[in-house]
Amino acid sequence: MNQGKYVFAQITEFLPQRLFDSIVSKYNGNKYIKHFSCWNQLLCMIFGQLGNRQSLSDLILCIMAHSNKAYHLGFGQGVSKNNLAKSNERRNYLIFADYAFHLISIARQYAITEDFELSIEGNVYAFDATVIDLCISVFWWAKFRRTKGAIKLHTLFDVKTSIPCFIHITEAAIHEVNAMDDLQYEAGSFYVFDRGYIDFERLFTLHKTGAYFVIRAKTNFNFKRQQSFKCDKTKGVKCDQSVLLTGYYVSKDYPDKLRRIKYYDEETDVEFVYLTNNFDLPAIDIAMLYKYRWKIELFFKWIKQHLKILTFWGFSENAVKIQIYCAIISYVLVSIIKTQLKSPLTNYEILQILNMSLLDKTPVKELINKPNLQNFKEPLYNQLRIF
């Protein structure tokens, strides 16, 4: 007797299928396909991500063991290792990339600002990249060094909502600063960069759009002080200045004034120097903005540990990109479920629960809204003592 839908079928209902079908039609993804459609492929990949499958064989073995449930899980009739491998090799990865970006825009509409204490009206983004190592003998197209292959994942991360807004995959040999050319800046928003992104010509392009940047200065930074502002040294701000670049080329790349802030962090016992084109926020808020940049580092760590982007289920560039974008779709799906069902749990906790419950028939809302019993303490625990 059917007592309800499987957990996996419940969570995939949060995915807009009509939107996906329109993207598939745009790229003719289902042309000459009879059984195993792009939608079936997407659900299989998400099942492997949420189920923490280690390989393509592991994923197919798990699906075939529950073949009587394939229809209810949305996998279709043609699930096999050969079909899934060929689909990842041949179908355009842009289908999954476009769908991931549409899901991101949906998730940001419902996302709730968490753990952000600064009163800043505009959006706050952190931009960084992470390297994913590959075996050069297997992934021959991902050239990095003579004996090493790798790709680079460039990410624009919304700090307020903890949702990635932009994903760009390139060869690892391409420098991170080149990915700034693909960004579309929002006026009034803040963009936080590490000092590896110092390119004053590109930063001036950002400045002309009406957006703000916060970046850590390099040690060989040459400048001429114009004005010093009052600062609260009790909070760690050592100086707050208006400066001009003095180098011959950099002064032409960025002819306008900059704000230079020196901040001492007591926790790490490190002195930081920040550059920004914003002169309105207090200096301590600029320093705190840069601290929030570590959220993107935590995102990279989280997605590498808990979703499958380090062990790939295909060898071609197309298959690798499909798997990465399916991992992003899975991450965003967890965020959508969390906000829609108002779960008090973190994304990591929800992912751990789903990993063990994909083939259960418990309502998802009941699964992810249970109180935390780990910290439960009996109020009259003294009466439980026998001796």
Q: pLDDT tens digits, residue range 169-226?
A: 998 888 899 999 999 999 999 999 998 899 999 999 999 999 999 999 988 888 899 9
**For position 204, what pLDDT does the model report?**
95
245 is a domain residue: yes
Lowest mean pLDDT among 150-159, 238-247, 302-311, 337-346: 302-311
**For position 263, what pLDDT does the model report?**
92
Same domain, 283 and 362: no
**For position 384, what pLDDT does the model report?**
45
2 is a domain residue: no
Same domain, 278 and 226: yes
Q: What band does 139 get if pLDDT is binned at 50, 70 and 90? A: confident
Q: What are phi and psi of 171, to 5 degrees?
A: -65, 150
352 is a domain residue: yes
Given 234, 259, 292, which residue is the final one in a domain?
Answer: 292
- What's 262's domain CATH number? 3.30.1370
Question: Buried (b) or exposed (e) across 265-303, using 16+ Cβ within 10 A?
Answer: eeeeeeebbbbbbbeebbbbbbbbbbebbebbeebbebb
The length of the chain in residues reads 387
Of residues 366 and 385, more confidently modeled = 366
377 is a domain residue: no
Given 236, 259, 292, which residue is the final one in a domain?
Answer: 292
Q: How does pLDDT run across 243-290, given as a tens digit for each residue?
A: 999 988 888 999 999 999 999 888 888 899 999 999 988 999 999 999
**For position 38, what pLDDT does the model report?**
92
Cα–Cα distance, 99 to 22 (Å, whole number): 10
307 is a domain residue: no
- The mean pLDDT value for 34-54 works out to 89
- The mean pLDDT value for 309-318 works out to 81
362 is a domain residue: yes
Contacts of 21 (CB under 8 A, 6+ apart): 39
Same domain, 326 and 247: no
Q: How does pLDDT run across 294-308, given as a tens digit for each residue?
A: 889 988 988 888 777
Our count of domains for the chain comes to 2
Same domain, 284 and 220: yes
Stated pTM of the model: 0.84
Confidence check: pLDDT of 387 > 90: no
- The mean pLDDT value for 303-331 works out to 85
Q: Which pair of structure tokens corresponds to residue 235? A: 């909070």
Same domain, 203 and 275: yes
Same domain, 287 and 336: no
**For position 140, what pLDDT does the model report?**
81
Same domain, 30 and 87: yes
What average pLDDT does the chain have? 86
264 is a domain residue: yes
Tell me the residue range of the domain where 336 lies.
7-96+314-368
Cα–Cα distance, 277 to 204 (Å, whole number): 9
26 is a domain residue: yes
**For position 371, what pLDDT does the model report?**
56
Q: Which of 71, 74, 59 is nearest to 14 (CA)?
A: 74
Cα–Cα distance, 151 to 154 (Å, whole number): 10
Same domain, 210 and 284: yes
Q: Which of 1, 119, 8, 63 is nearest to 358 (CA)?
A: 8
- The mean pLDDT value for 4-11 works out to 88
